[in-house]
Amino acid sequence: MDSLSSADSSGAIETRGIEPVPDHERHGRVRELFPTWVAANISVLLLTMGAALVVFNSLNFWQVLIVAVCAAVVSFGLVGVLSVSGKWGGAPGATLSRATFGVRGNLFPGAILWIARFGWETINAVTGAYAVLTVLKLLFGIKSNDALIVITLLLFVACTFLVSGMGRKVLNICNKWSTYLFGLFSMLVLAYLVATIHWSDVFAKPAGTTAMMVAGVGTIAAGGISWVPTGPDFARYLPHQASGKRIVGATVSGAGLVMVPMVLMGAVMAVATPGLAKAQDPVSFLGDLLPTWLAVPYLLTAIVGMLLINSLSMYSAGFTAQTMGVKLPRAMAVSINAVISLVAGGLLMLVASSFLGSFITFLILLAVSFSAWIGVYAVDMFRRRSRAVRYDAEALMDTGRTSRYWYVGGFCWQAMTAWGVALLAGLSFTSCDWFSGPLAGTPIGKYGLGWMATIVVSAAIMAVLPTPRENVPTAVAEPAPATAEREKVTA
């Protein structure tokens, strides 16, 4: 059994790992989630994705607006709803997932989520490095070369590792100021576009098909879906009485405040620079489209934003590593992700022929792999709320046969069945550069709804299978008073 740590998180550097946060340390506030999810979306990749909706999906301005709003609400709505479990159990999502899949079963979806996290961090690190290279070219005329690519990537990953290793309080402070700065310069960029873009060309573009709109929602939403399993990580310091509705509201509004205008700006920029969506370097176009006095500060704030996105991702990845059995403190566990993102980022920048192609393919597979987990976990959450069954802090840290979440041989067969079948079903509907599933030609596949089908299949199977029975010793099987229990699981 893993013992519950007495790690104190009150200092500047967070020392607490995956162990649940005790009540006396629950001093977080729901409003802290707003800048967290703003910062999680400060990426110029949203500009590229907005441009792709125009260039590849052939959507017009109003269709892009609808796609961006729907993607923000759907993806970060899921993030917000499942984040509520963080305040119920006070632990990271990867750890709470032990209660859903079993202490051994959790290793399988956990491994896939961890691998997918590597890819997301690599994409962000590469984008951040490209932004640094663009700033060096604009300010000093320094042209990119292989050695400089490696150096900038190394510096970006090192800074990410440093910030993520310091923990929640440092991230909250950075997120707050990054939100202010990026918001200011985004408004300046928006004002410049309003004044210089030929709006007649923007609004003259014909509408695309409904199928391309639906597929576009899935592409844009994939980034938000990747945050769903880590949502509880940022809500675990909230007190039990924190409002679930406010958690969802702060999450969706924080993400939407950035996602919607960024995607729209990318769509508008694509009118002036159609090559934006096809460029190997997803950042340098800003130097061509914007004047230097605006492009440089905007890119600098974007670099900080992308660094924070990766820091938030690595922060959660450290918890996933510990849950997977890595015997290191969280800050050191983060180093595994840092090394992998450095190596993979170098390959993507120096070897890959198409950044956007690799990125879109990754997003498609990312959405499916995370969606199988989402459906199962959501049903388990609903059952806990309806039956007023709280998460057991000691059992979450007990990986032996005595754990409440041992189920059968350490596996919850209902959750594992639902997850495995849904994952295979989602992949069968998926088509990308690397492979095409046998059902990719069906309407679900053509509309890019493999990720949604995955959630529905996993949730449906989990719901119809018998409710898992936790291994509660007879001596302590009596439920706690209803009032206390419902305080624990109130939404």
Tell me the DSSP string of 308-359.
HHHHHHHHHHHHHHHHTT--S-HHHHHHHHHHHHHHHHHHHHHT-S-HHHHH
Cα angle 265, 366, 56; round to 5: 40
Q: Give the pLDDT of residue 13.
A: 54
Distance CA 443, CA 232 (A): 34
Q: Which residues lie across from 411 on neighbouring strands?
A: 408
Whether pLDDT at 483 is above 70: no
Query: C-alpha distances in angstroms, 264 versus 191, 223, 344, 390, 480?
Result: 13, 16, 30, 42, 51
Whether pLDDT at 8 is above 90: no
- CB distance 272 to 197 below 8 Å: yes
Confidence of residue 209 (pLDDT cuts 50, 70, 90): very high
Q: Give the pLDDT of residue 45.
A: 83
Confidence of residue 206 (pLDDT cuts 50, 70, 90): very high
Distance CA 166, CA 174 (A): 11
- CB distance 76 to 251 below 8 Å: yes
Mention every residue, 6+ apart, whose C-beta is less than 8 A from residue 127: 43, 44, 45, 282, 283, 306
Whether pLDDT at 481 is above 60: no
Distance CA 186, CA 244 (A): 30
**For residues 179 and 331, which has the higher predicted lDDT (pLDDT)?**
179
Percent of the chain scored above 70 by pLDDT? 85
pLDDT tens, position by position, 340-354: 777 878 877 776 656
Q: Give the pLDDT of residue 165.
A: 61
Distance CA 414, CA 389 (A): 18
- CB distance 76 to 234 below 8 Å: no
Whether pLDDT at 66 is above 90: yes
- CB distance 485 to 388 below 8 Å: yes
Burial grade of 112 (CB within 10 A; 0-12, 13-18, 19 or more): middle
Mention every residue, 6+ apart, whose C-beta is less than 8 A from residue 23: 239, 240
pLDDT tens, position by position, 151-183: 998 888 888 777 766 656 676 677 677 777 877
Whether pLDDT at 452 is above 60: yes
Q: Which of the listed ranges 201-210, 272-281, 301-310, 325-334 does the model predict with the highest average pLDDT? A: 201-210
Burial grade of 326 (CB within 10 A; 0-12, 13-18, 19 or more): middle
pLDDT tens, position by position, 30-48: 998 998 898 888 888 888 8
pLDDT tens, position by position, 93-145: 989 999 999 999 999 998 888 877 777 778 888 888 888 888 998 998 888 88
Confidence of residue 484 (pLDDT cuts 50, 70, 90): very low
Q: Which of the listed ranges 287-291, 293-297, 385-389 does the model predict with the highest average pLDDT? A: 293-297
Specify the DSSP class assigned to residue 236: T
The mean pLDDT value of the chain amounts to 83
pLDDT tens, position by position, 228-273: 998 999 899 999 899 999 999 999 999 999 999 999 998 998 877 7
| Nearest residue to 244 via CA among 64, 86, 396 | 86
What are the structural domains of the chain?
Answer: 23-359 (1.10.4160.10)
Whether pLDDT at 77 is above 60: yes
Is this prediction's pTM over 0.85? Answer: no
